[in-house]
């Protein structure tokens, strides 16, 4: 029996079938790969525990299984019901979904999932997979004690943090959060951006995660002027020009020179009210809809401030995910008895990441064998951990070499 074992907390998002239409499709772990993860964990004796069990262990030393693990899923995607939930049931595992109430599907329905495919009542290619969970789907997963629903704040968005223009809304851009902010009531239908709602030409300023920054309010007249300019120039057709971005930057610069701008940062009081709403309202809604107590919080993108942390504690959260504020400590945190139980350290479930967000991202999800090595590495087991690090490093170098060779070959092919 391992004394004071480390407990991996795996981080997933979407589980299912990657969609080329979704700009963050790299967040989708293919359901076949996910099942491979579960199969290997089951084979090697891993057992899932809840966040409450983990908290009690870290705080009080409550007994654990030898290979305990927590499985978490961020954002509340519909495919967590369609694929993750049936597969967890199949292998006798459980997980936690961090949801944002603003994205929850408003109709009180239960859609078909993988269990219906197994029963022969539908086909996989007929399953609805894009979108977000309904409260009824969440309630069923809770009642089955397979999924524990916790909070990911209300909005899970980004805001401008200065008036420095870095881009403009354009076709297939990565700024879907601006569509969310302009159309909050439509967020449950906007996993994939709706081009009909995009204000082409609207300035994109330097931005950051909503929880971690003071919001900057850009001049509304400037936004209207820029979108009207693009409309007059042909709307979408305007962006076929090679130098459209330079042209818009010059137009915006002249407008700023010739007009008085009504811009400002939110006040400290406004920031605190906004963060309180994000934390308190999300907790309140989930508790009301699912008739449960919500005590655990995941910071979107790891963005958190000291004020937000104190506010979360005052509201009643007992633990939250380790964010960017703990970047230098995360290599040493192992979710063990004696460590601060108010923060948990999660590990990603991807092996290779090229660091590019948005359309064109290249992420390769590890198979079950490599995931097992990652878990052993996190547990820091004697003999096994050093060996797992060596194998993972070798696999990473091999992938990078192959990626470089393939990318170079593709560039040469495109030149022909």
Tell me whether residue 164 is in a domain: yes
Do residue 239 and residue 108 come from a single domain? no
Q: Nearest-CA neighbor of 349 among 20, 94, 33, 44?
A: 33
Do residue 13 and residue 132 come from a single domain? yes
Do residue 307 and residue 277 come from a single domain? yes
What is the maximal distance between C-alpha atoms in the chain? 73
The per-residue pLDDT for 414 is 36
- Tracing tokens 């936690």 back to the chain, one arrives at 96
Domain that holds residue 329: 9-152+273-385
Indicate the helix (H) or strand (E) that contains 64.
none
The per-residue pLDDT for 296 is 98
The per-residue pLDDT for 410 is 37
> Rounded mean pLDDT of 80-86?
98
d(CA 292, CA 159): 31
Mean confidence (pLDDT) of the chain: 91
pLDDT(238) > 90? yes
Query: Could you tell me the CATH number of the domain that includes residue 32?
Result: 3.20.20.370
Half-sphere exposure of 143 (CA within 13 A, CB side): 8
Each residue of 147-159: b (16+ CB within 10 Å) or e? bbbbbbbbbbbbb
pLDDT(409) > 80? no
> Rounded mean pLDDT of 233-262?
96
Do residue 198 and residue 74 come from a single domain? no
Q: What is the pLDDT of residues 149-190, one digit of tens each?
A: 999 999 999 999 999 999 999 999 999 999 999 999 999 999
Half-sphere exposure of 207 (CA within 13 A, CB side): 21
Q: At what angle do helices 244-258 and 220-232 cross, to 10 degrees?
A: 140
CA 21, 236, 187 angle in degrees (round to 5)? 45
Lowest mean pLDDT among 42-56, 128-142, 205-219, 320-334: 320-334
The per-residue pLDDT for 259 is 97
Cβ burial of 299 (10 Å; 0-12, 13-18, 19+) is buried
> Rounded mean pLDDT of 403-416?
45
Do residue 129 and residue 203 come from a single domain? no
Do residue 251 and residue 279 come from a single domain? no
The per-residue pLDDT for 367 is 85
What is the DSSP code (8-state) at residue 301?
G
d(CA 410, CA 397): 20
Q: What residues are paired with 353 via a beta bridge?
A: 363
Among 209, 232, 265, which residue terminates a domain?
Answer: 265
pLDDT(354) > 60? no
> Rounded mean pLDDT of 121-146?
98
**Contact call for residues 14 and 29 (beta carbons, < 8 A):** yes
Do residue 136 and residue 181 come from a single domain? no
Do residue 187 and residue 86 come from a single domain? no
pLDDT(383) > 50? yes
* Per-residue pLDDT band at 295 (split at 50, 70, 90): very high
Percent of the chain with pLDDT over 90: 79
**Contact call for residues 171 and 244 (beta carbons, < 8 A):** no
Tell me whether residue 395 is in a domain: no
**Contact call for residues 297 and 286 (beta carbons, < 8 A):** no
Tell me whether residue 416 is in a domain: no
d(CA 385, CA 354): 25
pLDDT(326) > 50? yes
Total domains in the chain come to 2
Tell me whether residue 97 is in a domain: yes
- Tracing tokens 């091999």 back to the chain, one arrives at 398
Do residue 139 and residue 278 come from a single domain? yes
d(CA 62, CA 337): 9
**Contact call for residues 23 and 351 (beta carbons, < 8 A):** no
* Per-residue pLDDT band at 28 (split at 50, 70, 90): very high
Among 218, 247, 265, which residue terminates a domain?
Answer: 265
The per-residue pLDDT for 268 is 96
The per-residue pLDDT for 397 is 66
End-to-end Cα separation, the chain, in angstroms: 62
Among 249, 265, 281, which residue terminates a domain?
Answer: 265
The secondary structure of 148-212 as a DSSP string is EEEE--S---EEEEEEEEEEE--TT-S-HHHHHHH-GGGGGG-SS--GGG--TT-EEEEEEEGGG
Q: What is the pLDDT of residues 88-133, one digit of tens each?
A: 999 999 999 999 999 999 999 999 999 999 999 999 999 999 999 9
- Contacts of residue 293, defined as CB under 8 A and 6 or more positions apart, other chains included, come to 287
d(CA 364, CA 399): 10
Tell me whether residue 399 is in a domain: no
Rg (CA), the chain: 23
Tell me whether residue 66 is in a domain: yes
Tell me whether residue 394 is in a domain: no
The per-residue pLDDT for 413 is 37
pLDDT(77) > 70? yes
pLDDT(411) > 60? no
Half-sphere exposure of 85 (CA within 13 A, CB side): 29
Do residue 131 and residue 170 come from a single domain? no
Lowest mean pLDDT among 2-6, 217-221, 257-261: 2-6
Tell me whether residue 52 is in a domain: yes
pLDDT(360) > 70? no
> Rounded mean pLDDT of 270-298?
98
Do residue 142 and residue 224 come from a single domain? no
Half-sphere exposure of 336 (CA within 13 A, CB side): 14
Do residue 237 and residue 281 come from a single domain? no
């Amino acid at each position: 029996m391992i004394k004071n074992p480390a407990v991996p907390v795996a981080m997933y998002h979407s589980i299912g079938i990657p969609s080329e239409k979704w700009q963050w499709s790299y967040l989708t772990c293919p359901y076949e790969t996910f099942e491979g993860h579960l199969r290997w964990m089951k084979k090697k004796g891993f057992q899932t525990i809840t966040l409450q069990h983990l908290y009690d262990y870290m705080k009080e030393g409550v007994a654990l299984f030898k290979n305990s693990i927590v499985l978490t899923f961020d954002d509340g995607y519909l495919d967590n019901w369609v694929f993750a939930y049936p597969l967890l049931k199949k292998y006798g595992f459980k997980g936690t979904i961090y949801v944002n109430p603003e994205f929850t599907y408003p109709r009180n329905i239960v859609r078909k999932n993988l269990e219906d495919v197994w029963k022969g009542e539908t086909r996989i290619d007929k399953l609805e997979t894009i979108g977000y969970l309904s409260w009824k789907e969440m309630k069923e997963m809770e009642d089955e004690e397979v999924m524990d629903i916790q909070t990911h704040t209300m909005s899970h968005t980004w805001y401008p943090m200065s008036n420095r223009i870095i881009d403009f809304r354009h076709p297939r851009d990565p700024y879907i959060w601006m569509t969310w902010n302009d159309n909050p009531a439509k967020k449950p239908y906007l996993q994939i951006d709706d081009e009909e709602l995009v204000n082409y030409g609207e300035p994109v300023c330097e931005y950051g995660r909503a929880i971690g920054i003071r919001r900057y309010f850009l001049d509304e007249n400037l936004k209207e002027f820029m979108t009207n300019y693009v409309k007059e120039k042909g709307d979408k057709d305007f962006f076929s020009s090679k130098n459209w971005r330079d042209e818009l930057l010059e137009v915006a610069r002249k407008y700023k020179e010739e007009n008085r701008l009504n811009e400002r940062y939110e006040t400290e009081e406004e920031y605190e009210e906004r963060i309180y709403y994000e934390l308190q309202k999300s907790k309140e809604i989930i508790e009301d809809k699912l008739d449960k107590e919500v005590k655990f919080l995941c910071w979107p993108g790891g963005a958190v401030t000291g004020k937000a942390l104190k506010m979360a504690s005052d509201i009643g959260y007992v633990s939250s995910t380790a964010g960017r504020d703990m970047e230098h400590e995360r290599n040493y945190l192992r979710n063990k008895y004696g460590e601060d139980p108010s923060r948990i350290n999660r590990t990603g479930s991807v092996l290779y990441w090229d660091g590019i967000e948005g359309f064109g991202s290249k992420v390769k999800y590890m198979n079950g064998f490599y995931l097992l090595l990652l878990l052993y590495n996190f547990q820091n087991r004697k003999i096994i951990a050093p060996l797992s690090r060596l194998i993972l490093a070798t696999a990473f170098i091999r992938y990078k070499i192959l990626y470089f060779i393939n990318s170079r070959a593709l560039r040469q092919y495109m030149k022909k």
